[in-house]
Amino acid sequence: MTAHRDSGAGPPDEYVEAEIHRLLTEDPAVAEQGITVVRTERALVLHGEVESAHRREEILRRVADRFPDVPITSDIGVVRTQAPTEIEQLP
């Protein structure tokens, strides 16, 4: 987990959570529908997986730019692309 911003501003407003969620989809630099925003006592936590490290960084940058006073914590991963090691047989 990456602590992205100091907490202490109190629980973020529910509307901020909604706005961040929409920004993640509607901002052309992000366009992610698979990121979950979870409100905790200390921060908003972003969960999910993206296709590149660049996209993960861009998400954090855009959210921090738009909501500079909101404490954000990131737990976003990059999806692995290795070949499978198992086959599912469907007789």
Partner 1 sequence: MVIRIAAVGDVHLDEDVVGRFRPALEQLPGNVDALLLAGDLTRHGTEAEARCVAREFGGLGVPVIAVLGNHDHQCDQVPQVIGALEEAGITVLEGDGVVLDCPGGRLGVAGVKGFGGGFAGRCASDFGEPEMKAFVRTTTESADRLSEALRSLDCDVLVALTHYAPVPDTLAGEPLEIYPFLGCYQLGQAVDAAPTALALHGHAHHGTERGTTPGGVRVRNVAHPVIKQAYSVFHLGDHLDQGEVSGVAAGGIQQPWS
Q: How far is the CB of 20 from partner 1 (least distance, A)?
A: 16
Q: Which of 9, 31, 38, 64 binds partner 1 (CB under 8 A)?
A: 31
Span of 4-12, 32-40, 64-72 interacting with partner 1 by CB under 8 A: 32-40
C-alpha torsion angle, residues 21, 25, 28, 31 (rounded to 10): 120
Instruction: State the DSSP H helix or E strand holding residue 24, giving kind and residue range, or none if neither.
Output: helix 14-26
Measured from the CB atom, is 1 or 83 closer to partner 1? 83
Measured from the CB atom, is 32 or 71 closer to partner 1? 32
Measured from the CB atom, is 69 or 80 closer to partner 1? 80
Measured from the CB atom, is 10 or 82 closer to partner 1? 82
Cα gap 67→36, rounded to integer Å: 17
The alpha carbon of 43 is separated from its chain's Cα centroid by a whole number of angstroms, namely: 12
* Burial zone of 52 (CB within 10 Å; 0-12 exposed, 13-18 middle, 19+ buried): exposed
Per CB under 8 A, residues contacting partner 1 are 28, 31, 33-34, 36, 48-49, 51-52, 54-55, 79-91
